[in-house]
Amino acid sequence: MLLSQIILFPLLAAIILLIFNSKSDLLKQAALGLSLAELLLGAKLFMAFDPSTASLQLTENYSWISQFGISYSIGVDGLSFWLVLLTVFIFPIAILGSWNSINKSQKGYYASLFVLQTAMIGTFLSIDAILFYLFWELSLVPMYFIIGIWGGARRIYATVKFFIYTMAGSILMLLAMIYLILMHKELMGSYSANLLDWYKMQIPFVGGVLLTPQTLMFFAFSIAFAIKTPAFPVHTWLPDAHVEAPTAGSVLLAAVMLKMGTYGFVRWVIPLFPQAAQYWAWLFMVIGVIGIIYGALMALVQTDIKKLVAYSSVSHMGYVLMGLFALNQMGVTGALYQMLNHGISTGALFFLVGMIYERTHTRQIAHYGGLAPFMPWYTIAFLIITLSSIAVPMTNGFIGEFLILMGSYKSNPVWAYFAVIGVVLGAAYMLWMVKKVFYGPTGKELSGHKDHLVDLSAREWIILSPFIVLVFWMGLRPNDFLNYSRHSLEHWVKNQSSYTLDVKK
């Protein structure tokens, strides 16, 4: 029941919030308390999880639409474990981060956040295709409102773009899912939407021919996940969504929602369509490399801090894609690690950008300059997260990037040679931004706001410290984290062409 609790508790929390008065401090406090309760459930999961097995754990299975083999079926293993914990970890912080910046219809806002949490965790834990699809689509709705109601000036444009992009991908995925349910009937004699059953199917594959079931479905799923990731060239929704979203929206979008895409590749695409994945791996490696370099080049010429961070996401997620399609232990381990890293570094970066925006009400890099003397601790925090983002050793970013590059090199050195350019460009755009914002003479636009340029408040310290601790912990002792995923990843890599997953009794 633990996993169901983790999935459904936020939904309950959303309902509980409805009884509070809007605009009361109590509402915020209740929201924070409920999210902390969810974090405790996460801690319970941490205790209950058995890292010594690759099998699916803590499974639950209830029949739902039994005619078509659709069920409410959930479970956790080393692939989804950390993503679930990342999600429960980041929500209380997101709520703290919204404390002063969200002032209209607060009740709706916090309720939306909780619905979003249910959807995200549900996506990571679903083992049934239709259930997965349900959560996947459900996540769009609260995010649509979060950006559309509490967002910036061009929020409507951004939400529509966001929605259309993701929907376009989802529809392809839904079609492929229905096809697979039918195919299961054809091959195995019964309808099933259960992923564990699907893994056992041998889906016909002919290399080099597009119109074979495996290849078609491989692309149908991949497109949906690539849009979410986002991979070049379907990434342009991301900068707009990020720029318009309120701080917590950006944080959740970057830290968790993008991972739904890459998680999709790990859980669904590659194990279900192994031959197609191997056949087309080069294509996704190339897309990954392009993402790394292209995202970094875009970041280099942005004038809006948030847009810069958004494009840096494109670059970082390019690494993830590359690591996944290296299809070896190092690459995939690095990719999984990089998903968490990106959640931490980019999540924290959006918080940091939000904090400074609340003080100055501008995101234009050119308006800044010489911030460091006014806000020294803020500057230090920003620098630490920057180091994580540009993957300096002893921070988490390095472990992920190093493993991904190494795995990619093992799989095809050529792409690693290109990808390593991103190591240089990443430092270039981040340090350029740091220089423009924090160093040099005080920016002209800032002179009017000098009274507001106070250093970190206690609340902001609470927001940032967990990130800073994790940056170094994950950078210095990666095995503490990797050990929880090791068996699952080993199993995943070793049995690539005929992947199946047991259920732990």
What whole-number distance in Å separates Cα of residue 50 and Cα of residue 452?
49
Q: Name the region of 391 (left: φ>0; alpha: ψ -120 to 50; beta: rest).
A: left
What whole-number distance in Å separates Cα of residue 306 and Cα of residue 361?
13
- The reply on whether position 435 binds other proteins by CB under 8 A is yes
> Nearest 5°: phi and psi at 174?
-60, -45
Binding mask 134-173 for other proteins (x = CB under 8 A): ---------------------------x--xx--------
- The reply on whether position 423 binds other proteins by CB under 8 A is yes
Among 3, 251, 322, 330, binds other proteins (CB under 8 A): 330
What whole-number distance in Å separates Cα of residue 33 and Cα of residue 35?
5
What whole-number distance in Å separates Cα of residue 259 and Cα of residue 336?
9
- The reply on whether position 420 binds other proteins by CB under 8 A is yes
Restricted to residues 363-382, the positions that interact with other proteins (CB under 8 A) are 370, 372-373, 376
Cβ proximity to other proteins: between 207 and 373 the closer is: 373
Minimal distance, residue 89 CB to other proteins, in Å? 23
- The reply on whether position 431 binds other proteins by CB under 8 A is yes
Q: Is the dihedral of CA 282, 284, 287, 289 positive or negative?
A: negative
Minimal distance, residue 324 CB to other proteins, in Å? 15
Among 81, 124, 378, 438, binds other proteins (CB under 8 A): 438
Among 7, 405, 470, 471, binds other proteins (CB under 8 A): 405
Among 99, 205, 279, 439, binds other proteins (CB under 8 A): 439
- The reply on whether position 319 binds other proteins by CB under 8 A is no
Cβ proximity to other proteins: between 279 and 439 the closer is: 439
Minimal distance, residue 480 CB to other proteins, in Å? 10
Among 180, 196, 399, 468, binds other proteins (CB under 8 A): 399
Q: Is the dihedral of CA 23, 25, 29, 32 positive or negative?
A: positive
The 8-class DSSP code of residue 447 comes to G
- The reply on whether position 201 binds other proteins by CB under 8 A is no
Cβ proximity to other proteins: between 53 and 412 the closer is: 412
Closest Cα to residue 203, out of 194, 190, 212, 195?
A: 212
- Give residue 312's identity as a one-letter amino acid code: S
Q: Is the dihedral of CA 390, 410, 268, 44 positive or negative?
A: negative
Q: Which two tokens stand for residue 385?
A: 């997260």
- Give residue 425's identity as a one-letter amino acid code: L
Three-state helix/strand/coil letters over 291-336:
HHHHHHHHHHCCCEHHHHHHHHHHHHHHHHHHHHHCCCHHHHHHHH
CA atoms within 13 A on the CB side of 88: 28
- The reply on whether position 174 binds other proteins by CB under 8 A is no
Contact 279, 497 (CB under 8 A): no
Binding mask 215-254 for other proteins (x = CB under 8 A): ------------------xx-x------------------
Minimal distance, residue 335 CB to other proteins, in Å? 12
Among 356, 403, 404, 464, binds other proteins (CB under 8 A): 403
- The reply on whether position 450 binds other proteins by CB under 8 A is no
Restricted to residues 453-492, the positions that interact with other proteins (CB under 8 A) are 476-479, 482
Using CB under 8 A as the binding criterion, the count of chain residues that bind other proteins stands at 53
Cβ proximity to other proteins: between 207 and 376 the closer is: 376
- The reply on whether position 298 binds other proteins by CB under 8 A is yes
Q: Tell me the sheet residues that pair with 65.
A: 70
> CA 388, 394, 395 angle in degrees (round to 5)?
20
The 8-class DSSP code of residue 234 comes to S
- The reply on whether position 207 binds other proteins by CB under 8 A is no
Total residue count of the chain as it appears in this document: 505
What whole-number distance in Å separates Cα of residue 380 and Cα of residue 248?
22
Binding interface with other proteins (CB under 8 A): 161, 164-165, 233-234, 236, 294, 297-298, 300-301, 328-330, 333-334, 370, 372-373, 376, 387, 392-394, 398-399, 402-403, 405-406, 409-410, 413, 416-417, 420-421, 423-424, 427-428, 431-432, 435, 438-441, 476-479, 482
